[in-house]
Amino acid sequence: MVALIILLGGARSGKSRLAEGLTQGPGPVTLIATAEGRDSEMRSRILQHQRSRPAHWRVVEEPVEMERALAGVEGDDRIIVDCLTLWVSNLMELGLDDSEIVARGRRSAASAAARGPSTVVVSNEVGSGIVPVNELARRYRDLLGRVNSIWADAADHVYLAVAGGVVPVQPARSVWEQATDG
């Protein structure tokens, strides 16, 4: 059984829809949602996500304490974490320094990878665009890239969602293994 799947991609690339599809079937599903409806546009986005998922799913709204949220999920539940993008932003907003955010990323990824049932994690790939004009935006881009890399390294499978399709991403550890085998 695949324990940890990471879905990376741009905004509206199909990541959440794919995550929902990967957890379809018999058995319980828990969604860990990191978004907070702080304005009308975000509340509208959250409502769209709520309407798209099955009503029987358990939802844990946890914008900050990912480890606790993962630990609180029933043992047989499949999990969707949607999304690391907002989780990292929320941690930054709390004033945590980079090393603490990275440490939380490592602990949470390890916890998710150690589970028996599958965990599907959604996150945006924000580092492919232009270099942001201000320090805060550059810090966010860099931190999210580090956290995404940590989760990807712990994952069984990593996919990049592009325009509703997916491309498998080879984990860095396997690239290093192939490069040093010869």
Catalytically annotated residues: 49
User: Among the residues of the chain, which ranges form H helices?
Assistant: 15-22, 40-52, 66-71, 84-93, 98-114, 135-154, 172-180
Count CB-CB contacts under 10 A for residue 161. Answer: 23
Cα(22)–Cα(67) distance, integer angstroms: 22
Contact 59, 28 (CB under 8 A): no
Contact 28, 178 (CB under 8 A): no
DSSP state of 156: S
Please state the φ and ψ torsions of residue 85, each to the nearest 5 degrees: -55, -50
